Each structure stands twice: as C-alpha cells, then as structure tokens.
Structure 1
Amino acid sequence: MSSRPSDTGPGRPPTQAGPPPTRIDNPAPGGAPGSGPSAPGGSSAGKPPVAGTPTAAEYYAANRGGGLFSEAVSQRLGSRIAVFAHKHRLTPTVLSVLNLGLGVLTSFIVIAAAGPVADGRIWAPLIGLIALVGWQVAYAFDCSDGQLARVTGQASPAGGRFDVLCDVAVQASLVSALAATAHAQEPDTPAWLLAAFAATWMVNLVTSVMQGGDQAASMVTSTSLPIRVVKLVRDYGAVIALAGAVLLVAPQLAVWFVGLFTLINGGFLAASIAFTGRAALKP
C-alpha cells in the first residue's frame, strides 16, 4: 500500500489500482481529507481483517496518506481513536457521526461568534482555540472511521456513502464559518469572493471524491520532500490547522485566507480540468 499523497485535494490520499472502493473515507477541502478509499470486503487491498485486538500501529499502517501534516498528526490521532472505538465496540459509522457532530458544532460556534468577535464583545482567541481544536479532532474522527473499517473488516458501500456525506456537511459548515468571519471582520468583502471561495472549495471536494478506483490519477507523482511540502496547501489537516490559527491569532486576516485559498483551489481546479482533458483526448 502506497502512502504517496496525491494532488486531488488537501488530505486526499492516493488510491490503488484494482476494483472500485466500497467505502470512501475523508474527502478533503477543495479535495478530500483523510484516510481514503478502502478495498471491497472491508479491509485494505483485499487483505483479511486483523485478528485479535489491533494496535494503534496496525490502524496507522492502514491509513491512506493525506500529506505530511495529516500523516504526522491526524492519522496518528485517528489510529488511537480507532483503538478506543474497537475496545468499546463502536462502529465506523459512529465515528463518522462524531466527525459530523463535532465539525458542524465547531463551525456553528464560529459563525455565531463572528459578529461579537469583530465588535470586541467576545475574546477572539477563545473562538480561535475552539475552531483549531474542534476542527482538528473532528478530522481525526474522520481518519479513524476508515482505519477502523479497513482493519476490522467493517467497510460497506452504505458506510462509504454515509462517510462522504458527513464530510461534505462538515466542510460546507467550515466554509460557511470562514466566510462569515471574513465578512464580519471586513464588511466590504466582495460577495463574489465569498461565493468563489465556497464554490472552488466544494467543487474540488466533489472532483476529489470522483478520483476513486480506475479514475485515480495524479498530476505530480514525485514523492520528494520539497514536493510534499508544497502539497501542504492541499493537505486538509494542514489547511484547517492554518484556518484555526488565523482565527486564534489574527481573525482580521480571515479575508486574506479566503482569497488565498480561492486562488489555490481555483488554480487546482483549472489545472485538473486541463490535465484530465488532455488525458481524455489521448487515443
């Protein structure tokens, strides 16, 4: 199993050749987060479920990459959540629900506090800390559901669809929270910029989910460290960490975050169209 990150989106892990996946875990912002697709039958690459009680190392070994930050932080935290979940007989779907609940709740708090933070009625670092921790822990749950499903043989088509829908809901709420903060901090923020930010982020999420099975492709296949560092702008764990840090330290810069990732996601979308179109024209 390769841990090479693809460039289908922040945190979108590489897919492997073979049958289409039955469970797709963790689409990323502007791409797909997390631990990626699992093989038919519920375990990675068609291997049987791990016998006995799997360790955190075994869960982590089943991760689907996702980029330097996601592999170093989110996937490792997810593997420990998977150990806890297995011990307490929690299913991957329960972990998907926890991702959904925590991610959307965190975004709702940020949205509700956007105006009061801008007016100085609420201490900005408090909301920033909630965002930073809440989104990261939600993403760790998103990583853990795929690890648990693959290692214990609980993957299913319905579980995969449910996981993707939860991811879409969390990311829609996250985009709304960032847009609300940007507008509250800078009321003159152009409506077209906020619309473009949401559109490019979510469209890239959709194209990322499409990159499963025999549709998988990577524009940049190098696994060198400099390339992986550059790809941090497409690593979901790194992106939401940066978003949380902005809200924690300087929420007035939220509009710059929105503008930057509109360019990044829009540029990636355009490059993906060109890359895919070129491939489609080949005989």
Structure 2
Amino acid sequence: MLVETYRSLERAQKGHARGAPAYSVYVNRRLGRLFASLAYGLGLTPNQVSLISAAHTFLAIGLIALAPPTVWIGLVIALLLVLGYAWDSADGQVARLRGGGSPQGEWLDHFIDTLKISSLHLAVLVGLYRASPDGAGWQLLIPLLFSVAATATFTAMLLNDLLKGKHAQASTHERGGGTLGRSLLVLPTDFGLVCLVFVLWGWPSVFLAGYGLLTAVAVAFLALAARKWFREMGSLRGSG
C-alpha cells in the first residue's frame, strides 16, 4: 500500500517552479512524498499533516530560544526543522491523494508558514543573547536582518500571486520544470539550508559564519527580486 501510494504520487507530481532551489526539489519533496504516503495510509487529513509539520517546527524554534547551544541540541534542532519542512511538503500531496485541497487548508498552510518564518530568526536572536555572557552585540543584528528579509520575501511572493490571480496572470510559482542548474544556482536561498545550518548551533562562531552568509544571500535575493517583481506589477496595469 505504501509503495503503491508513493509511486502514484511520483507519477502525479507536478513540475517544480522554475525558481525552486535544489534542496526543496530533490530532497524535501521526496521526503514529503514519503510522509504523504504514510499519512494517507493512516487516514490523516491535510490539515492534520500541517499541524504535524507545525509541531516539529515550533518545538525546534522553542529549543533555539530556550535550550543551551550544545552540539546535541543543534543536531536535534536541525532534525526537527528538516522533518517539519518535509511534513510541510506532505500536506499538499495528501490533499491531491484525497481529491484536492480546500481554501481552509491553504490558509492554514500559509498561516503556519508565516508564523514559522517570522519567529524562527527571532528565536535565534533570543538564543544568541542568552548564550552570550556579555549580551552579545552587533551579532544580534544578523537574525533581525534575516527575519526582515525572510518575512518580506514570503509576504511579497504571496502578494504577487494574489495580484497576478486578480489580473488573470500566471502565478509567481508557475510550474515550469526548472533545470538542475537553475535549482543549484538558487540553492543558497533554500529554507532547507536554514534548517541544516543549525547542525553548527553548538559552535556559535561557526554557526554565525554560516548563518550570516545565508542572511547576506537572503537580503541580496530580496533586493534583486523586489526590483523584478515591481516591474512585473507594472505590467499588470490595465489588465484584468
């Protein structure tokens, strides 16, 4: 049953968005497919799968903010975030297996994503502050900057889809079967790398180097993408 469901999902899988990064496409989607097959076999609904994803993710966020930054805690955090991200991919696949999703389910999925994106980096700020005997310093600007960039990017992408849909234009996430080269090029923007960087949580200076690099990429991506998206919104004038 599990194997048949997995293969059915694999055959029915939509092409990935042209700008989708490699981890999300080649790792997270396949983990999500496995979890979706398990969830479907257990009779779970898409909303229940979304809540499972949230439970993993927010437990990790709580550990980031409140637990000591040890090597083992970092590994647990990374594992929980990876699992939460995979379950996040599974809810939509379960919906397809059950005949389609619902506006309520889509709202819940986006609501959880918004909470995750807005709170994860603030938890890093709290964790770094608690771990530093002198209260840290300029390093605390890094998670603040990452939080702003990640939240603004996610909000802008949702707004893009809303406005393009209103004007009967293609979605920002239109499925175009992007190439491997393009997926690898945008890999540094992948949320999967944010999950994995917490493997370094037990070594604060090393973690800050990796996390800071991802922050710089997130800020640069937002700056470049905002310019592109702004031009696209200008082309919607008078349509619809």
User: Which band: TM-score by shorter chain?
Assistant: 0.7 to 0.9
Give the corresponding residue for 1:30: none
CA displacement, residues 1-45 of structure 1 (integer Å, 9 cap, x when unaligned):
xxxxxxxxxxxxxxxxxxxxxxxxxxxxxxxxxxxxxxxxxxxxx
Matches within 5 A, 1:111-122: 111-113=65-67, 116-117=68-69
- Partners of 2:198 and 2:208 in 1: how far apart? 13
Does residue 165 of the first structure (1) align with residue 111 of the second (2)?
A: yes
Give the corresponding residue for 2:121: 175
The TM-score, its normalising length taken from structure 2, stands at 0.79
Which of 214, 232, 245 is residue 199 of structure 2 equivalent to? 245
Give the corresponding residue for 1:45: none
Q: Is the 8 A contact 1:247 1:254 kept in 2?
A: yes
Tell me the amino acid that sits aligned with residue 111 of structure 1: A
Aligned pair count reads 219
Which of 129, 132, 147 is residue 198 of structure 1 equivalent to? 147
- Partners of 2:75 and 2:42 in 1: how far apart? 29
- Partners of 1:224 and 1:59 in 2: how far apart? 21
Does residue 55 of the first structure (1) align with residue 5 of the second (2)?
A: yes
Q: Is the 8 A contact 2:189 2:214 kept in 1?
A: no
Give the corresponding residue for 2:187: 232
2:187 partner SS: helix
Alpha-carbon deviation of 1:258? 4.1
1:106 partner SS: helix
Over the matched positions of the two proteins, sequence identity in percent amounts to: 24
- Partners of 1:189 and 1:224 in 2: how far apart? 39
Consecutive unaligned residues of structure 1, counting only runs of 5 or more, are: 1-52, 118-123
Higher helix proportion (structure 1 or 2): 2
- Partners of 2:15 and 2:81 in 1: how far apart? 20
Q: Is the 8 A contact 1:95 1:141 kept in 2?
A: yes
What is the CA RMSD across the aligned residues, in angstroms? 2.6
Which of 70, 78, 100 is residue 32 of structure 2 equivalent to? 78
Q: Is the 8 A contact 1:182 1:252 kept in 2?
A: no
Which of 90, 98, 101 is residue 155 of structure 1 equivalent to? 101
- Partners of 2:82 and 2:227 in 1: how far apart? 33
Q: Is the 8 A contact 2:122 2:143 kept in 1?
A: no
Does residue 267 of the first structure (1) align with residue 220 of the second (2)?
A: yes
Matches within 5 A, 1:120-139: 124-139=70-85
* Structure 1 pair 126–192 and aligned structure 2 pair: CA distance change class (3 A): closer
Give the corresponding residue for 1:276: 229
Give the corresponding residue for 1:188: 137
- Partners of 2:140 and 2:38 in 1: how far apart? 44
Alpha-carbon deviation of 1:229? 1.3
Which of 152, 156, 180 is residue 207 of structure 1 equivalent to? 156
* Structure 1 pair 182–261 and aligned structure 2 pair: CA distance change class (3 A): farther
Tell me the amino acid that sits aligned with residue 62 of structure 1: Q
Alpha-carbon deviation of 1:95? 0.5
Consecutive unaligned residues of structure 2, counting only runs of 5 or more, are: none
